Chains A and B, each alone.
Chain A
Amino acid sequence: DTEVTQTPKHLVMGMTNKKSLKCEQHMGHRAMYWYKQKAKKPPELMFVYSYEKLSINESVPSRFSPECPNSSLLNLHLHALQPEDSALYLCASSQDSWGRNTEAFFGQGTRLTVV
């Protein structure tokens, strides 16, 4: 199984809503990532978890709150988002910290629309 599964595939939420994005992998990977991608732009790194601990937070606003309940799961909790937060949110995982001679596997993403 070389899949990273993200749910839901699409999400529409109001600015006062609270929602969560979920990501799951069963490859035994110890590093997991959240990226945000706007249309026609490259993915932008948001958070990195390494061995279930948050290791990188790219100055992401606190309305985005990541959580890693165990080594297979990664959540992104959303609260009080703005319309400009509408984007494709991508989850990825790798055997170890990406860059150490290891490839990353990406999910298909969650298309988020904030209204």
Chain B
Amino acid sequence: DAKTTQPNSMESNEEEPVHLPCNHSTISGTDYIHWYRQLPSQGPEYVIHGLTSNVNNRMASLAIAEDRKSSTLILHRATLRDAAVYYCTALGANNLFFGTGTRLTVIP
């Protein structure tokens, strides 16, 4: 199973960009990189996913390294509502496990 490594916590000022890193050096060629976030007392919420190319959606951008051993979730302008635990996961056909997550604190 591909393991992911993330910093335990990060801080960001409100309305500034946030770059959340993730290492997944054991990822296989068919594993998708998924990001989910979990707000307090809620279930995880899908953020974004990708395989090889960088991806953008209304919530965030995902930058994937060329060798696919790392990726970065980019929140373009952090808001207080973005304070959550962000999970990076490399998912394959039978690999459905969450990483340890990064707790993001947004400072007003």
Nearest A-chain residue to B94, judged by Cβ: A56
Using A42-B87, A42-B101 as known contacts, say yes or no to A99 and B95 having CB atoms under 8 A apart: yes
Q: A106 contacts which chain B residues (CB < 8 A)?
A: 36, 43-45
Q: A42 and B98: CB pair below 8 A?
A: yes
**B contact patch SS:** loop
Interface size in chain B (residues, C-beta < 8 A): 23
Interface size in chain A (residues, C-beta < 8 A): 22
Nearest B-chain residue to A106, judged by Cβ: B43
Nearest A-chain residue to B51, judged by Cβ: A101
* 8 A-B pairs with the lowest CB-CB distances in the bound complex, closest first: A106-B43, A99-B91, A42-B98, A103-B46, A106-B44, A99-B92, A108-B43, A45-B96
Given A44-B97, A100-B93, 4 new contacts (CB under 8 A): A45-B96, A98-B91, A99-B95, A106-B45
List residues of chain B with CB under 8 Å of any chain A CB.
31-32, 34, 36, 42-46, 49, 51, 87, 91-101
